[in-house]
Amino acid sequence: MKVILAQPRGFCAGVVRAIEIVERALDKFGAPVYVRHEIVHNRHVVESLKAKGARFVEDLSEVPPGAVTIFSAHGVSRAVEMDAKARGLSVLDAVCPLVAKVHHEGQRYIDQGRILILIGHAGHPEIEGTMGQLKGEVHLIQSKDDVGRLDIPADAPIAYITQTTLSVDDTRATIAAVRNGFSDVVGPETRDICYATQNRQTAVRELARLVELILVVGASNSSNSNRLREIGAEAGVPSYLVPDGSALKQEWFAGMTTIGLTAGASAPEVLVDDVINALGRLGPVELSTLSGIEEKVHFRIPQALVVA
């Protein structure tokens, strides 16, 4: 069986930074440190940080007063920030700088007097954080089909922003529907979709041209990983999202000779290796990697954690 690895795949700079923040906080302040929500959407990452002394909570009421508390890479609302302040928590914010950039961009549009349309998935923590950061009128839509349901005059000044981990193609269609529905629209096109999401989607499209089946390593609650699986499937290639090698089903591979393998931005390479090992147990594997974009993005960690 030939196995072709997508390039790039796996960890993005925002995930690397978020994990480093937790690890450095543990080194500096000692265990436990508290993390609100999964620091990134991956069980393996969460479990390994738990083993080092991180405690994961969904609500700040679970954190003892004054404790070191880290907000996840997805960002949080102002209400959560204020709750942390009221509880006297010592906060480190691991929000990805590219998510924070979208918050600022959205607020800038609102301050210009525009009604804001946020394109994203309801219930995703990034969207809850973004909605809760913006002071002004914000309407969430999930797809182009939602545009017709918006109760906004057609000539109102509109701006849109998007979640960072959406499908580029779907988002383009949603933006086109917004532009068709309203006469005065400004927005960043698909530039809010982060470099890592775009690069991984480009790579999986390339992979789909070469393989008979695609495996995406990632968690079921990882937005960007789900989009990678969808892109493979939309290209007509059977595509599966798997957390690790234990999820592979032998029947998927009957008659298959060329498999594509990629990983979402929150999935560590050790899980890609785990899938390769699991494939190896089905038969001999010949491994190659696509040539692709080499990412050199790096985000600085908060000053409070920089060792002098």
Q: Is 230 a catalytic residue?
A: no
Q: Which stretch binds ligand SF4 (CB under 6 A): 12-20, 25-33, 79-87, 142-150?
A: 12-20
If binding is defined by CB under 6 A, does position 228 make contact with ligand SF4? no
Q: Judge whether 99 and 118 are in contact, CB under 8 Å.
A: no
| Sole binder of ligand SF4 in the list 117, 265, 275, 279 (CB under 6 A) | 265
If binding is defined by CB under 6 A, does position 225 make contact with ligand SF4? no
Residue 140 DSSP code: E
CB nearer to ligand SF4: pick between 240 and 299 = 299
The token duo for 235 is 């290209």
Q: Judge whether 197 and 165 are in contact, CB under 8 Å.
A: yes
If binding is defined by CB under 6 A, does position 22 make contact with ligand SF4? no
3-state secondary structure (DSSP) of residue 49: helix
- How many residues touch ligand SF4 under the rule CB under 6 A: the total is 15
- Among 124, 127, 126, which Cα is nearest to 138's? 127
| Sole binder of ligand SF4 in the list 4, 5, 15, 138 (CB under 6 A) | 15
Q: Which stretch binds ligand SF4 (CB under 6 A): 7-15, 61-69, 154-162, 246-254?
A: 7-15
The token duo for 74 is 């997805």
If binding is defined by CB under 6 A, does position 216 make contact with ligand SF4? no
Per annotation, catalytic residue among 38, 105, 126, 230: 126
Query: Where are any strands of DSSP class E within the chain?
Result: 2-5, 33-36, 54-57, 68-71, 90-93, 115-119, 138-141, 157-162, 184-186, 213-217, 239-242, 258-263, 286-289
Q: Which stretch binds ligand SF4 (CB under 6 A): 94-102, 112-120, 127-135, 212-220?
A: 94-102
CB nearer to ligand SF4: pick between 98 and 276 = 98
Q: Is 291 left (phi over 0), alpha (psi -120 to 50) or beta?
A: beta
Interface residues toward ligand SF4, by CB under 6 A: 12-15, 73, 96, 98-99, 164-165, 194, 196-197, 224, 265
